[in-house]
């Protein structure tokens, strides 16, 4: 019998799969694909298999921990808001009044 996975909880709500919200599913998938490619490159280049297995296990565990923590901490849009907020200056400095004296009084 096939296993059925529920991925969507309703209209207008973010996709949730096994506790991961929205874009974090893609982040986890991308990390796993990159680990697979790294493993393949290491295997073809002759790196010992035991070393590769330990390395992939450590990086895989770290990837899962980091992605699940980010999903819990930031939620659906919180990571993008966090990254955008870092780009906002704390205060603005104007050295002259020229910027304000040239403004027209516009009414909507």
pLDDT, one tens digit per residue, over 39-98 is: 999 999 999 999 999 999 999 999 999 998 988 888 887 888 888 888 888 888 888 887
Question: How large is the average pLDDT for residues 22-38?
Answer: 91
Three-point CA angle 102, 106, 108, nearest 5° = 160
pLDDT at position 50 is 94
Predicted confidence (pLDDT) at residue 108 exceeds the cutoff of 70: no
The reported pTM is: 0.66
Please report, for the chain, the start and end positions of each structural domain, with discontinuous segments joined by +. 1-83
Q: 62: closest CA among 23, 35, 26, 25?
A: 35
Q: 37: closest CA among 17, 62, 59?
A: 59
Contacts of 22 (CB under 8 A, 6+ apart): 14, 15, 76, 77
pLDDT at position 7 is 62
């Amino acid at each position: 019998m096939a296993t059925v996975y529920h991925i969507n909880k309703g209209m207008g709500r973010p996709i949730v799969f096994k506790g991961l919200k929205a874009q974090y599913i893609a982040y986890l998938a991308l990390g796993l694909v990159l680990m697979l490619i790294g493993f393949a490159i290491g295997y073809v280049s002759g790196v010992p298999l035991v070393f590769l297995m330990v390395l992939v296990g450590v990086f895989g565990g770290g990837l899962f921990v980091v992605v699940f923590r980010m999903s819990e901490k930031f939620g659906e849009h919180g990571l993008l808001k966090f990254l955008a907020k870092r780009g906002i200056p704390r205060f603005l400095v104007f050295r002259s009044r020229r910027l304000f004296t040239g403004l027209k009084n516009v009414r909507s």
